[in-house]
Amino acid sequence: MLNFALRRFLLAALVALTVSIVAFFLVRVSGDLATSLAGQEASAEDIEEIRKAYGLDRPIIVQYADWLGAAVQGDFGESLFFPDTVWELVSSRLPTTLRLAMSGLIISLLVGIPFGVIAALRPNSWIDRLAMTIAVAGQAIPTFWMGLMLMVLFSLMLGWTPISGDESWRHFILPAVTLGYYSTPPIMRLTRSGMLEVLSADYIRTAYAKGLRPMPVLFKHALRNAVIPVVALASVQFGHMLSGAIVIESVFAMQGIGYLAWESILRNDIAVIQTILLIVCMFYVFLTVLSDLVNAWLDPRIRVS
Amino acid sequence: MKLKKLKASLLAAAGVALLANPANAGKKDDTLVWITTFEPPTYNYYDQTLREGTILSRHIWDSLYWRDLETGEYVPHLATKIEYADPKTIDVTLREGVTFHNGEKFDADDVVYTLTMVNDPENKMANRNPVRWISRVEKTGEYSVRLHLDEIFAPALEYLSTSVVMYPNEYYEKVGKDGYGRAPVGTGPYMAAEVVPGKRLVMKKNEAYFGGGKGQAHIGTVEMRYIPEANTQIAELLGGNADLVWRLSKEQGEKLGRRPGVNVVAGETMRIGYLQFDSSGGAGDHALKNVKVRQAISYAIDRDSILKNLLGAGQVVHLACYPTQFGCQSPDAPQYEFNPEKAKALLAEAGYPNGVEVDFYAYRDRPVAEAMMGFMSKVGIKANLQWMKYSALRDKVRSKEVPFNFMTWGSGSVSDVANITAYFFDGRADDTARDPEVKAELDAGGATIDPAVRLQHYSKALQLIAERAHWLPLFSYAYFYAMSEDLEFEPTPDEIVHLYRAKWK
Amino acid sequence: MADAIVAGSALDPARALGPSPTSRFFRRARGHTSIMFGGGVLLVIVLTALFAPLLAPHDPYAQDLFKRLLPPFWMDGSVPEHVLGTDNLGRDYLSRIIYGARVSLLIGVCTAVISGVIGTALGVTAGYFGGRVDIVITFIITTRLSMPIVLVALAIVALVGGSLHAVVLVLGLLLWDRYAVVMRSATQQARSMDYVSAARAIGCPTWRIVLSEIMPNVINNLIIIATFEVAHAILLEASLSFLGLGVQPPAPSWGLMIAEGKEFLLFDPWVIAIPGVALSILVLAVNMLGDGVRDISAPENRS
């Protein structure tokens, strides 16, 4: 176990290092930092001056080494645009995005898995078809559209939820539903197909034949095996939610790291980008570990390898 | 209203209480809520470059003189007198009895401190541009200062009347750069009352305001809220949580204007769009080095039609500047009216009877760019659009990789040709024309403060630019403002929302 | 525990018997409504894309600024010559939808195929071999997941400019994450089945075990992810186009039309609804087809 944890930790560090190197160079080629820092009406001289003042005229390797050296000691530097340190900026906005993504994921699991099971129990029935149509066709609706439609209906016309902002839990209802909606269909489809496969497997038939009660068979044996890929997918979906949060946060005017990341990428605010990537990458490593552990618990045979 | 009824009945049926919104917008609370897209990264005006920050500079702070928004005249404001001792020395007499929002007295020390502090590269102020031309400030009395310039700077008075604002020296020294950015203090008609990062800035009317050229504010509380998505801004306005939104598109403006309770006005701004040609051939051996091809493009594009149908307001401009800017007149300059036949003929004369293909760069207003491409393709010019973000494009222009590009320029709201024409044709990195004759005229115009001489040189420069088609000036941009019907507000061309002029009806 | 019982059906003795698998597949497909419907719709879209020049009533590039935003036929003020109205620049919306099918199909399918191959290869390898191989691949997957597509897109635009090829490559080389993750865990699960152990015990070569024992068991998951990635890629192309990476104007794509409709969302929702419905139909068809293929190729349906 200790060995396992250590290996995962090393992996995380390696991923973080790779991502930070790649991101650093990508940001550099995607536009001049000094130009975006100086603003749209700056002259060439302003830009040169800023380049010098911020040390952007030094070789890129040196700049990266500088950043890395500080980051290792826990200093993530200062944003080029905001007066705050990157850590203040990111840590003040992280909770909103996490809350959003968590509620989105919970919604999609709560909707996706039961509907997937029902659909598998009655394959090609009207409920299966309906669930599929609603779920799948909606994938073609972009997030901003869905978000604004819900906003117009529930906030503007019905007045049930606030239009925008993130001050209370009520502000999170529509964004979380929007976000969750997009993760539901793959989860639902995978559950359905997994269940279909497992239900026709011999051991389930045997279990039924032996006269075991259907509910325990369904949940203890069938679902347990069917959701293994779903668990893995859910971990990725959570990550996709962080990027889906970009649009949601901008539509609902929420202060999260999704929109901050987007803004920072467009402005080449390198220190902020790096820190957010670092956090995202830690989440992935953690989620991968978590989903592996959950799956090993669901199916002990996976552990043996 | 049907909608309201539906809402009321549904609420009653479901027993759901309508949420109290943090924004209590409207006349009855004497609170004007203005929604805009971007939050300034800091409220320290000289340390940011956002339009929203520039707008705030007119509310929280004051400049020495003030350019009257109706007449365009420069009138006394924080200073009672500004006069040239010689073309490189300016004497300023300050108004007495003005206090900052925190009670600090305004005097010569504040002026010296502000200008010196912002200008010091050590302080890394992101927005040094307004004061860069001032090389040294000298205190000549408790209420008088002298500005020393290294070079003649013609639009000095314009700058001193708009974008050069005064900070309180003692307070700034005490709270520091970042502290000031969180709790700014000025002399202006509004004072910052509450700063909620990422969400809003609440400003209260400065009851002790000295008035000056701006006059007193009318509305008690002004709240600036930040919402990135335009559709959401509109939803907040329709939901009654906002009184003013701006920068809407033509369609959004037109459709919103038909809603009851909403008024929409278009306000022209000093920002103009232009096509910039690499006439010097810095980007390689392309067709646009030939003046006839550049003229062909100028004749091919129906700017009137694009303006009227896509943008909805603003005006077509024919010179490389905004018409009311000082120096923006050139009676002898040619104008390129829409004439596709002539464009084809010029193209044939240039040696491209079967058309020509060239890369075309842009960063905003994609429909406008596409419309121009459509017009060009009709006369046989195939423009391959390269779309990139602003900083990447500007880098490419400066490193001479761009045959022609569609960009916009707002002149930093400075009403002088020096901030646009002289900027792009003076041989520096942004100058893709590299025309020595144009540069000579502009240099001559910038080397004096005599208005008549300046006008004469600028007129000649603008004429050359038009004749040689270094630029195709397109049109000025207008913003559509949508506001609640209770609000009386008139937009101004400086791209600045002067909220202290707004009143309730 | 029941899950220790051999799931023997996948060994599929039926496979070697009867008519060839291909002809049986098609015979079954004909009787399957999902396949007939999904495949039929998809075929229509493909044909539309192929014969766009013959089908489109107008030149999709011809703009007329005086005829902007004419509404579609079911609304007041529509004109008969533009059945689905006109766009922001006065171009015929129906013709742009027809031509847009080309780009969108191309992007959706190419991306799903490229990323499907990459993701499946990585996922199956990691899941099957485990150990160090798994660690290396997990490293690649996690690195990819932590890398924002926007950042890559902007860098590529600044370096080489945008084009259709660029967007297909970028999306294809980046969107394999969900395949890899799902295939990895599905393979882990399949690998621990007794029949795989049995095959290994009798000395079957690895490639044969993977192809004939593992793949049939994980292919369902592959199809499901692929159907979602088609829509994902088409919509993502739109946002990348806005950053300059995707199709270059005036070429239309459904994703781009949807993204451009954003400005008109509140007051002229049809601008976004028309390409949105087209895309929904495409996605639904792909899903039904995928579902049907799954149904008739799944081991449990073969006997």
Task: Indicate which CATH number applies to the domain containing C213.
Answer: 1.10.3720.10
- Pairwise CB contact (< 8 Å): C5 & A203: yes
State what percent of residues in chain C have pLDDT above 90.
25
Write the CA distances from A14 to A7, B219, C176, C184, integer angstroms: 10, 57, 21, 21
A133 and A35, same structural domain? no
pLDDT at position A120 over 90? no
Query: What is the rounded average pLDDT for all residues in chain C?
Result: 82
Q: Which domain holds residue A249?
A: 86-304
Compute the average pLDDT of residues A108-119: 91
Q: Is residue A15 part of a domain?
A: no
A127 and A64, same structural domain? no
Chains that touch C (3 or more CB pairs under 8 A): A, B
- Pairwise CB contact (< 8 Å): C2 & A203: yes
Compute the average pLDDT of residues A259-280: 85
- Pairwise CB contact (< 8 Å): C238 & A285: no
| Test the A interface: residue of B6, B21, B36, B49 with most A CBs within 10 Å | B49
* Residue ending a domain, choose from A21, A45, A75: A75
Enter the tokens of residue B37: 């897209």
Residue from C230, C261, C244 nearest C93 by CA: C261
- Pairwise CB contact (< 8 Å): A203 & C7: yes
Confidence of residue C221 (pLDDT cuts 50, 70, 90): confident
Return d(Cα C255, Cα C276) in angstroms, integer: 8
B63: which DSSP letter? B
Write the CA distances from B113 to B31, B46, B76, B165, B173, integer angstroms: 34, 13, 21, 12, 9
What are the phi and psi torsion angles at B52 (to 5°)?
-60, -35
A182 and A275, same structural domain? yes
- Pairwise CB contact (< 8 Å): A157 & B7: yes
Instruction: Name the 3-class secondary structure at B329.
Output: coil
pLDDT at position C1 over 60? no
Compute the average pLDDT of residues A217-223: 78
Write the CA distances from B49 to A16, B33, B230, B423, integer angstroms: 33, 23, 21, 18
| Test the C interface: residue of A193, A248, A275 with most C CBs within 10 Å | A193
Chain C residues touching A138 at Cβ < 8 A: 280
What are A145-168's pLDDT values in tens digits? 889 989 989 998 888 999 988 888
A69 and A100, same structural domain? no
State what percent of residues in chain B have pLDDT above 90.
75
Return d(Cα C228, Cα C226) in angstroms, integer: 5
Compute the average pLDDT of residues A238-250: 82
| Test the B interface: residue of A51, A78, A93, A164 with most B CBs within 10 Å | A164
Q: Is residue C2 part of a domain?
A: no
Question: C295-301 contacts: CB < 8 A, separation 24 or more?
Answer: C295/A123, C295/C32, C295/C34, C296/C25, C296/C28, C296/C29, C296/C32, C296/C35, C297/C25, C297/C219, C298/A196, C298/A197, C298/C220, C299/A197, C299/C9, C299/C10, C299/C12, C299/C216, C299/C217, C300/A196, C300/A197, C300/A200, C300/A201, C300/C9
Q: How many domains does chain A have?
A: 2
Q: Is residue A201 part of a domain?
A: yes
A231 and A152, same structural domain? yes
Q: Which residue of B has its CA nearest to C242?
A: B387
B58: which DSSP letter? H
What are B315-339's pLDDT values in tens digits? 999 999 999 999 999 999 999 999 9
Q: Which residue has the higher pLDDT, C161 or B373?
A: B373
A118 and A201, same structural domain? yes
Q: Is residue C157 part of a domain?
A: yes
Sequence letter at residue A67: W
* Residue ending a domain, choose from A9, A41, A75: A75
Q: Which domain holds residue C210?
A: 21-301
Query: What is the rounded average pLDDT for all residues in chain A?
Result: 83
Instruction: Name the 3-class secondary structure at A305.
Output: coil
ipTM of this complex: 0.86
Q: Which run of H or of E encompasses B362?
A: strand B356-362
What are C96-136's pLDDT values in tens digits? 999 999 988 999 989 999 999 999 999 999 998 888 898 89
Q: How many domains does chain C have?
A: 1
Chains that touch A (3 or more CB pairs under 8 A): B, C
What are C181-213's pLDDT values in tens digits? 889 988 988 887 777 888 888 888 888 888 888
Compute the average pLDDT of residues C235-241: 81
DSSP string of B227-260?
-S-HHHHHHHHHTTS-SEEEEE-HHHHHHHHTST
Question: A167-170 contacts: CB < 8 A, separation 24 or more?
Answer: A167/B22, A168/B19, A170/B19
A269 and A137, same structural domain? yes
How far does Cα B41 stand from its chain's mean position? Answer: 18
Most confident of A172-176, B390-394, C103-107: A172-176
pLDDT at position B439 over 90? yes
pLDDT of amino acid B202 = 96
* Residue ending a domain, choose from A75, A110, A131: A75
pLDDT of amino acid C22 = 67
pLDDT at position B23 over 80? no
B165: which DSSP letter? B
CATH code for the domain of A251: 1.10.3720.10
A49 and A116, same structural domain? no
Most confident of A8-22, A115-129, A159-173: A159-173
Return d(Cα B244, Cα B55) in angstroms, integer: 15
Return d(Cα B369, Cα B138) in angstroms, integer: 49
A51 and A150, same structural domain? no
Establish how many alpha carbons lie within 13 A of residue B84's alpha carbon, considering only the half-sphere containing its beta carbon: 13
Return d(Cα B272, Cα B420) in angstroms, integer: 10
Chain B residues touching A165 at Cβ < 8 A: 22, 199
Confirm or reject contact between C228 and chain A (CB < 8 A): yes
pLDDT of amino acid C15 = 40
What are A41-99's pLDDT values in tens digits? 777 777 887 788 778 888 888 888 888 888 888 888 888 778 788 888 888 899 999 99
Return d(Cα A105, Cα A291) in angstroms, integer: 14
Return d(Cα C276, Cα A142) in angstroms, integer: 8
Confidence of residue B399 (pLDDT cuts 50, 70, 90): confident
Q: Is residue A10 part of a domain?
A: no
pLDDT at position B92 over 90? yes
Q: What is the model's pTM?
A: 0.86
Chain A residues touching C8 at Cβ < 8 A: 202
Domains of chain B by start residue, with CATH? 2-240+486-504 (3.40.190.10), 269-478 (3.10.105.10)
A57 and A99, same structural domain? no
- Evaluated on CA atoms B119, B123, B124, B127, the torsion sign reads negative
**Contact at 8 Å (CB) between A248 and A179?**
yes
Enter the tokens of residue C91: 């171009």
DSSP string of chain C?
-GGGS--GGGG-GGGGSSS-HHHHHHHHHHT-HHHHHHHHHHHHHHHHHHTHHHH-SS-TT---GGGTT---TTSTT--TT-TT-B-TTS-BHHHHHHHHHHHHHHHHHHHHHHHHHHHHHHHHHHHHH-HHHHHHHHHHHHHHHTS-HHHHHHHHHHHH---HHHHHHHHHHHTTHHHHHHHHHHHHHHHTSHHHHHHHHTT--HHHIIIIIIHHHHHHHHHHHHHHHHHHHHHHHHHHHHHT-SPPTTS--HHHHHHHGGGGTTT-THHHHHHHHHHHHHHHHHHHHHHHHHHHHSGGG--
> Of the ranges A112-126, B16-30, B403-417, which one carries the lowest mean pLDDT score?
B16-30
- Pairwise CB contact (< 8 Å): B374 & C250: yes
pLDDT of amino acid A292 = 80
How far does Cα C22 stand from its chain's mean position? Answer: 23
pLDDT of amino acid C101 = 93
Q: What is the largest CA-CA distance in chain C?
A: 76
Q: From the list B181, B228, B239, which residue is nearest A250 (CB)? A: B228
A54 and A148, same structural domain? no
What are C20-36's pLDDT values in tens digits? 666 666 676 666 777 88
Chains that touch B (3 or more CB pairs under 8 A): A, C
Confidence of residue B75 (pLDDT cuts 50, 70, 90): very high
Confirm or reject contact between C274 and chain A (CB < 8 A): no
Compute the average pLDDT of residues C71-91: 90
Confidence of residue A302 (pLDDT cuts 50, 70, 90): low
Phi and psi based region of residue A77 (left: phi greater than 0; alpha: psi -120 to 50; beta: remaining): left
Q: Which residue has the higher pLDDT, A138 or C279?
A: C279
Confidence of residue C14 (pLDDT cuts 50, 70, 90): very low
Three-state SS across B386-450? EECCHHHHHHHHHCCCCCEEEEEECHHHCCEHHHCHHHHCCCCCCCCCCCHHHHHHHHHHHCCCC
pLDDT of amino acid B336 = 95
Q: Which residue of A has its CA nearest to C291?
A: A193
Q: Which residue has the higher pLDDT, C20 or C10?
A: C20
Q: Is residue C3 part of a domain?
A: no
Return d(Cα B348, Cα B27) in angstroms, integer: 63
pLDDT at position B103 over 90? yes
| Test the A interface: residue of B36, B37, B232 with most A CBs within 10 Å | B232
- How, if at all, do strands B221-226 and B200-205 pair? antiparallel
Name the interface residues of B facing C (CB cutoff 8 Å). Answer: 230-231, 234-235, 249, 251-252, 255-256, 302, 305-306, 308-310, 366-367, 369-371, 373-374, 377, 384-389, 392
- Pairwise CB contact (< 8 Å): A250 & B121: no
Confidence of residue B6 (pLDDT cuts 50, 70, 90): very low
Write the CA distances from B10 to A169, B5, B7, B18, B312, integer angstroms: 22, 8, 5, 11, 39
Q: Which residue has the higher pLDDT, B305 or A72?
A: B305
pLDDT at position A2 over 70? no
Q: Which residue of B has its CA nearest to A162?
A: B19
pLDDT of amino acid C25 = 66
State what percent of residues in chain A have pLDDT above 90.
14
Most confident of A288-292, B92-96, B323-327: B92-96
The three-point CA angle B168-B174-B180 to 5° equals: 65
Enter the tokens of residue A3: 């060995």
| Test the B interface: residue of C66, C241, C253, C267 with most B CBs within 10 Å | C267
Residues 160-219 (A) with a CB less than 8 A from some CB of B: 160-165, 167-168, 170
Helices B108-119 and B169-182 cross at an angle (nearest 10°) of 50
Q: How far is A241 from chain C (nearest CA, A)?
A: 12
pLDDT of amino acid B322 = 94
Sequence letter at residue C121: A
- Evaluated on CA atoms B317, B320, B325, B331, the torsion sign reads negative
Confirm or reject contact between A55 and chain B (CB < 8 A): no
Q: How far is B502 from chain A (nearest CA, A)?
A: 25
Compute the average pLDDT of residues B150-179: 93
pLDDT at position A259 over 70? yes
- Tally the residues of chain A: 305
Chain B residues touching A41 at Cβ < 8 A: 49, 129, 409-412
Q: Is residue A24 part of a domain?
A: no
Confidence of residue C16 (pLDDT cuts 50, 70, 90): very low
What are C255-277's pLDDT values in tens digits? 888 888 888 988 888 999 999 89
pLDDT at position C241 over 60? yes
Enter the tokens of residue A223: 């679902």
* Token pair 């005490």: residue: B174
- How, if at all, do strands B356-362 and B381-387 pair? parallel
pLDDT of amino acid C49 = 92
Query: What is the rounded average pLDDT for all residues in chain B?
Result: 90
pLDDT of amino acid B73 = 92
How far does Cα A290 stand from its chain's mean position? Answer: 15
